[in-house]
Amino acid sequence: MDGPAGATRAEPETTKPQMPSSHPATAPEPAPKVEAEGRRAKTIEVRDVNLFYGDFHAVEDVSVKIEPNKVTALIGSSGCGKTTFLRSLNRMHELTPGARVEGSIELDGQDIYAKGVDPVQVRRLVGMVFQSPNPFPTMSVYENVAAGLNLNGSRVKKGEKDEIVERSLRGAHLWDEVKDRLDRPGSGLSGGQQQRLCIARAIAVEPEVLLMDEPCSALDPVATLAIEDLIGELKSRYTIAIVTHNMQQAARASDVTAFFNLEQTGKPGRLVEIGATETIFTSPSEQATEDYVSGRFG
């Protein structure tokens, strides 16, 4: 159900919260960068996945393919399981006591829940950025970005580490703002800067997929747009899935949109429809999708 993706990105000056259907798809499909940095963004293939918290059935029968070098937005009303689903993609869901996953989730053909697979390894390949920026308070900006390397005990020489930190901070559009204060605590930055720091930290370990759970919901509109621009750039090197409450953001920043819905509280959430963002917002196939995107509920 995923059609060709047109990049529905509008110019920052004219956009602001407008209805998505007024932005035609103009950019051609970006060619996936296969050789960039010797690492390729990978596909996540999800088949018949059901997610539970103990006996509570949270998400039901999801099958979806998250394409490389594209931004997939997961939208839907509160409590319908989008975040739960996202967290199952990097094996964070199971950290909640009693939580379990049924079904198959494959990263480039390898089942990440197979017996003998180390969840720590999976999380190195599938990175995550959280809703509230959470830099480590005991570490400086430099140490935060390098945390992925330091915490894993990898022996990286100082010079190489400096390079990685600079590259990640540049990649997150934060380098110029912090290059003179790399030794100061990470928590001293503004909200938008902290979130970009968390993004830099996530990309410093060179994951193949980047998951973002409402990364802009704690930020002001200017910072939000900066992060959305960043996401647009990052997709050329990573596979990105982003959960968002903000439909306009989904329309602005994503190529593919997946709509989750709850029939009723207490019932599990389902994936109702997935398709090119343009299509979902202008002519969705399901009535529920149509109702949600046109603001009739949610």
Partner 1 sequence: MQAPVDTPPLLAAPRGGPLWRRKLVNRVMTGLIVLAFVVALIPLFSLLFEVVKRGLPGLDWEFLTGTPRGVVGGGGAAHAIVGTVVITGVTAIISVPVGILAAIYLTEYGEGRLRRWLTFFVDVMTGIPSIVAGLFAFALFAIFLGPGIRLGLMGAVALSVLMIPIVIRSSEEVLKIVPNHLREASYALGTSKWRTIVKVVLPTAFAGLVTGVMIAVARIVGETAPLLVTTGIVDSINTNPFEGRMQNLAVYAYSEYRTPGVMKQASYDRAWAAALTLIAIVMILNVVARLVYRRYKTEIR
Q: Which of 50, 104, 134, 246 binds partner 1 (CB under 8 A)?
A: 134
* Site stretch for partner 1 (CB under 8 A), options 27-35, 131-139, 251-259, 283-291: 131-139
Task: Give the number of residues written for the chain.
Answer: 298
Q: Which of 34, 36, 114, 151 binds partner 1 (CB under 8 A)?
A: 151
Pair of tokens at residue 115: 């017996």
Which residue, 50 or 150, is less far from partner 1 as judged by CB? 150
**Edge-to-edge strand order for the sheet containing 56-66?**
110-111, 99-107, 44-53, 56-66, 269-276, 256-262, 71-76, 239-243, 209-213, 126-129
Site for partner 1 in 91-130 (CB under 8 A): 92, 95, 97, 120-125, 127-128, 130
Q: What is the Cα 145 distance to its own chain's centre?
A: 18
CA proximity to 86, closest of 243, 294, 223: 243
Least distance to partner 1 from the beta carbon of 41, Å? Answer: 17
Least distance to partner 1 from the beta carbon of 220, Å? Answer: 16
Angstrom CA distances, 52 to 81, 98, 104, stand at 10, 8, 14
Sign of CA dihedral 20, 21, 23, 24: positive
Least distance to partner 1 from the beta carbon of 128, Å? Answer: 4
Which residue, 94 or 162, is less far from partner 1 as judged by CB? 94
Least distance to partner 1 from the beta carbon of 134, Å? Answer: 5
Which residue, 25 or 156, is less far from partner 1 as judged by CB? 156
152 is an interface residue for partner 1 by CB under 8 A: yes
Q: Are 244 and 252 in contact (CB under 8 A)?
A: no
- The whole-angstrom separation of Cα 202 and Cα 169 is 10
The site string for partner 1 over 200-239 (x = CB under 8 A, - otherwise) reads: -xx--x----------------------------------
Which residue, 68 or 148, is less far from partner 1 as judged by CB? 148
Other Cβ atoms within 10 Å of 235 Cβ, number: 24
3 is an interface residue for partner 1 by CB under 8 A: no
Pair of tokens at residue 25: 């798809």
Q: Which of 4, 12, 30, 137 binds partner 1 (CB under 8 A)?
A: 137
Q: Concatenate the DSSP letters of all residues of 31-87 into one string.
A: PP-SSGGG-----EEEEEEEEEETTEEEEEEEEEEE-TTSEEEEEESTTSSHHHHHH
Could you give the residue ranges of the DSSP H alpha helices within 141-283?
Answer: 141-145, 147-150, 158-171, 175-178, 191-204, 221-234, 247-253, 277-282
Angstrom CA distances, 22 to 181, 225, 293, 295, stand at 42, 18, 14, 16
The site string for partner 1 over 185-204 (x = CB under 8 A, - otherwise) reads: --x----------x--xx--
171 is an interface residue for partner 1 by CB under 8 A: no
Q: Which of 49, 101, 147, 280 binds partner 1 (CB under 8 A)?
A: 147
Which residue, 182 or 198, is less far from partner 1 as judged by CB? 198
Least distance to partner 1 from the beta carbon of 58, Å? Answer: 18
Q: Which of 153, 159, 266, 295 binds partner 1 (CB under 8 A)?
A: 153
Q: Are 224 and 245 in contact (CB under 8 A)?
A: no
Applying CB under 8 A, the residues found at the interface with partner 1 are: 90, 92, 95, 97, 120-125, 127-128, 130, 132, 134-138, 147-148, 150-153, 187, 198, 201-202, 205
